A and B are shown apart, each in its own frame.
Chain A
Amino acid sequence: MKRLILTLAALCAPYSAIAAEKVELSSDVYVEKVSHDANGRKSVVLEKPLKVVPGDRLVFILKYRNVGDRTAENFVVTNPMPSAVAFQETLDGTELVSIDGGKNWGRLKDLRVRMGSGYRDAVPEDVTHIRWNINDDISAGSQGKLTFRGVVR
């Protein structure tokens, strides 16, 4: 049985190779459950959530993989924040963010929000979109992972 599946996979391979470069992107979300053991030690467990409540901390993991046989250039990943989730941070810190629905982009520390007649510094909760301009082109077979945190509003 196992051998049969391998054979089928081998048959399929040439079709994906027809598109010279082909990148796959997946999105996953986990909820961070903090628990304390009998000694008061804190442990954080990532659980696959079906249901969440306001205040829960979510970890979003995006995985990409060049499954083609040629390099994909200028690789950019964009994640619009779900409206019910307040952005917190990315793991790598290299992201650009938008606080106006994806029209303008910048580093969070450079963005300002109009408050009456003045401005305040943008805070993570203002973020509507996050984007990674992956510096390196991604060569055939290479893969990567992008992680960010948010809190259920």
Chain B
Amino acid sequence: MAPIATLLLLGVSSPAFAAGTVAGTNIENTATASYDGPGGEVQIDSNTVTIVVDELLDVTVTSADPGDVATQPGAEDQVLTFTVTNTGNGTEKYALTPDVVRGGDDFDPALVSVVIDTNGNGVYDAGIDEVYAAGTNDPELAPDETVTVFVISDIPATPADGDRAEVNLAAEAETGTGTPGTSFDGQGDGGGDAVVGTTGADDDDSGFFLIQDASVALTKSASIADPFGGDSAVPGSVITYTLVATVTGSGTLTGLAVSDPIPADTSYNSESITLEGISLTDSSADADAGSFDGSAIAVELGDIPGGQTRTVTFQVTID
């Protein structure tokens, strides 16, 4: 008889299933024995014991947004993303319940709909992804399967910059929920019982909206230089107007533009617009942000984050 190798190198490893053995699987155990008798080796089998793996009811709900989702007062169809995973070992349907009226937050969004990520791309596609209707299209998940769920809400006009709103999504196994170990006789996949697992067969998680609002304050000042080196407002004096746009708040103002009509009894000094000290042209056809249309100057400031200022100057001459 060859000695038993003390070091065996093998290329197999057993697969791991998070949800465990599929419900309805039979676990069968049979031992064998051999021994030497007068007539040679004898082999015997034990009886086979069989036990059935019941369905374990478990579910995990997770907010899939990386952090607070920024939004603005009055914004419509704002999306929070969740995932619902069947962490049990049988195929199970789950009822979903959104809750936008949570305590301890600053405001309550208005629920629009709960939407299933029907096309599985992880992104809310309005009109393509199916709107969830409780009891009608409850997601049915195989063991370990995950579905993405979007909770769509409208933001009221009232919240202030920095306010947060909590939105919760709960999922419950349709077979039943309860304290771990609760059994639903004969209702498991594969004919066995369904047993509530460690999650209680229900779970929920919350996502958050954060109001990132911004507002702008515009101040205008003027300095005069007369033809004689003084600051008198006489014909021929040049007035330099300075417009300072100050953006405050935690958000970003998008597409901010300033314009200012040329005052009566003055004439615009052509090509005199500056932004942050850099000259802009009067043409509206070129790429730069400044323009003069014959009666007013305009500067496209674009997207300005809270905490920043933009300074625009232009000059006129008193007629």
Contact = CB atoms under 8 A, between A and B. Distances in A.
Interface of A: 19-21, 23-29, 49-55, 58, 60, 62, 64, 70, 72-80, 82, 84-86, 96, 99-100, 104-107, 110-115, 119, 125-126, 138, 152-153
Q: Which one of B7, B27, B193 has the greatest number of beta carbons of chain A within 10 Å?
A: B27
Nearest to B183: A51
Contacts, number: 159
Given A53-B197, A114-B10, A79 B56 contact: no
Nearest to A113: B13
A98 B46 CA distance: 20
Given A29-B29, A51-B193, A113-B10, A105 B4 contact: yes
B33 A23 contact: yes
Interface stretch (B14-22, B216-224, B234-242, B300-308): B14-22
Interface string B32-46: 111111100110111
Contacts of B42: 21, 23, 72
A54 B11 CA distance: 26
Interface string B129-146: 000000000000000000
Given A74-B36, A78-B31, A153-B17, A112 B9 contact: yes
Contacts of A99: 8, 10, 12
B10 A106 contact: no
A48 to B, nearest CB: 9
B14 to A, nearest CB: 6
A118 B312 CA distance: 66
Contacts of B285: none
Given A105-B4, A106-B6, A50 B31 contact: no
Contacts of B195: 51, 53
19 contacts: A21-B35, A21-B42, A23-B42, A23-B44, A25-B31, A27-B49, A51-B52, A62-B46, A75-B35, A76-B35, A78-B34, A79-B30, A79-B32, A85-B27, A85-B29, A99-B10, A104-B5, A113-B12, A126-B12
Closest 9 pairs between A and B when the two form their complex, measured CB to CB: A54-B20, A72-B35, A27-B46, A84-B21, A25-B46, A79-B31, A73-B36, A114-B11, A75-B35
Q: Which one of A70, A84, A110 has the greatest number of beta carbons of chain B within 10 Å?
A: A84
B10 to A, nearest CB: 5
A39 B116 CA distance: 48
Given A58-B27, A106-B5, A113-B11, 19 more contacts: A23-B42, A27-B30, A27-B47, A28-B49, A29-B29, A49-B51, A53-B55, A53-B195, A60-B29, A64-B33, A76-B35, A78-B31, A78-B34, A84-B21, A104-B8, A106-B6, A114-B10, A114-B12, A126-B14
Interface residues on B, range: 35 or more
Contact of A126 (B13, B29, B49): B13
Chain A binding surface, main DSSP class: strand
A60 to B, nearest CB: 6
Contacts of B30: 27, 79-80
A94 B56 CA distance: 35
B33 A75 contact: yes
A152 B20 contact: yes
Given A53-B56, A84-B27, A100-B12, A29 B49 contact: yes
A144 B17 CA distance: 36
B37 A20 contact: yes
B37 A72 contact: yes
Given A21-B35, A82-B27, A110 B8 contact: yes
Contact of B10 (A62, A72, A112): A112
B275 to A, nearest CB: 58
Contacts of A100: 8, 10, 12
B192 interface: yes
B7 A112 contact: yes
A100 B11 CA distance: 9
Nearest to A75: B35
B6 A110 contact: yes
Contacts of A104: 5, 8, 10
Contacts of B29: 27, 29, 60, 79, 82, 85
